[in-house]
Structure 1
Amino acid sequence: MINHTRETEFIMQGLFDHPHHQGLFFGLFLCLYTAVIMGNSLIIVAIVIHPPLHTPMYFFITNLALVDILCTSSVVPKMLENLMQEKKTISFGGCITQLFVLTSSLGTELLLLTVMSYDRYVAICHPLHYVKLMSKEICICLAAGVWAVGTINSFVNILLVLRLDFCGPNLIQHFFCEFPTILALSCSSTYLNEIMMFMADIFLAMGNFLLTTVSYSFIIITILKIQSSKGKQRAFSTCSSHLLVVTLYYSTIIYTYIQPTSSYSLDKNKKVAIMYTLVTPTLNPVIYSLRNKEVKVAMKKVLPFTTEK
């Protein structure tokens, strides 16, 4: 019988194969990571201190900003560390922690996008009932449910990983730990892991994408019924940014995770991973909030030296 032992650390392949590019990309990703932390933190503070922004939509944007910070922080600091090291390693415990935080963040964000699309649906299609359907108590329950489902999903998949044996090789062909790369290194059967992961991805990605599509179908139908062109433009402007980010985010997540392990493509997935772990969290504060006049007013309270153009 083969003696299966657990690896104490993994070696990461890294993001780039050319060492002379490491310093350049370290500076670039450090700037992007700083933008993620600063941008999303400013949005949270601005919404908290400015009463006109105490609405359901901005309550969920606050949660979204927090999720983006967690998602990026679970990957980028270790990536920056490895960019400046010749031997790129991560401990088994660090890999599991990264898996848990990243997976729970991604699941929570998918659910948040669905809840935000429902908020826009109620606001545009049932404006007279908006206060009742999106009361403070309901918003808190929705947010708590979103965080709970995202965390439980990640916890279950992590428990299934912990039951596996890893006896070598220990090379992770990525710049962070994710389920497809970890399962590929296991000496044990990963059939149950792949089934559970696929079911979770179908529910979180495809299920929520379907709900979001249904919400926006009703929104578009309602907008087309508006007689005034200004009314149509105003209604569409309240959800166009959200729809743009939903399309970008879902396309990257579905491409990465809704596929069998055998069809896993390293080079393509690295590029896509940069999008949903770094680029999208950088753009979210701008796309969702900074175009809003109320947010600009709130930003003046946070940053008194800013001026509105």
Structure 2
Amino acid sequence: MLKIVAALSGGVDSSVAAQRLIRQGHDVIGLFMRLTEGEGSACCNIRTGQTARRVADKLKIPFMAVDYSESFRKNVIDHALNNLDNGLTPNPCVECNRKVKFEELLGQAKRMGADALATGHYGKIFKKNNEYEMHEAKSQKKDQSYFLWPTSKNSLSEIIFPLGDVEDKSIIRKEAAEGGLPTAKAPESQDLCFAPEGLVKFIGKEEPGEILDIKGNVIGEHKGHFTVTLGQRRGLGGVALGKPAYVVQKDHKKNTVTLGDRDHFARQKINLTRVNWLADLNTLSGGLSARIRYRGSKRSIEQIKKHQIVFQDPVTVASGQSIVVYLGTRVIGGGVAQ
């Protein structure tokens, strides 16, 4: 039996994750982290905290709430807004997992004397050949491994994902209903919890600028360089070039957006920053692939170094996007595209 801190968000996934651990005979403590102060966010606010407490009461486990709103504002929201201002494509969910959940929350669990931290993420961690590995969840539809790559290698032995073997979300709903959990019919969580309608609406401002063609001619107007991302094809203000047009360049200083053919920005060689590897790259002989966006198809890798990936075919990657490397279902690690 392990002493496990189960992160309770007030949603059905984390509720069932805790319930499964209890039924396995573990000593479970429910921990809610408040990340936002108002009701405008989709989760981790005062309202969902009250729901998390009701879940703990139903499961008959101790409950504790901690306030991480300052850290969330600094490390997730401000980080995302700063990236947008500088022409980068942010990934707030990655930053939340990296800094808040699997650094600060895990640290809190350790201070409480727990053996492990459990969350409702869809992924797998298990020990193989005396080494802990992270893998995709059984359900490809629900898999969240793309957002989990920054998890430190040393912490894998202290993290549990009880839902990794779930084939379909209906199973979770059924278990919640059978256990009488108040979250059985809770709505699906949002990809961007603090901004359910998207970052652009969250910012609440427009900064009109010129849309240019590849030769520098003005062909339209945009609402702000931060409203589009490299590779975007739709929602470009009705600009038509007589052929498929993509955002191939953004100049955040001049507030201009340039459209062109896909070939103008597709790259085969991608340099990475802020890398985190969960395996020794020198021991990997081949068969690697990578995702460049959540739920995107995996792209074959020709060569990999600590700070660089060479794909077999050109890919369209925006600076700031996470690139996550896999060997089969195993998460090898990743980095942020430059």
TM-score by length of 2: 0.23
**Which structure shows the higher helix fraction?**
1
Higher relative contact order (CA 8 A, sep 6+): 1
TM-score by length of 1: 0.25
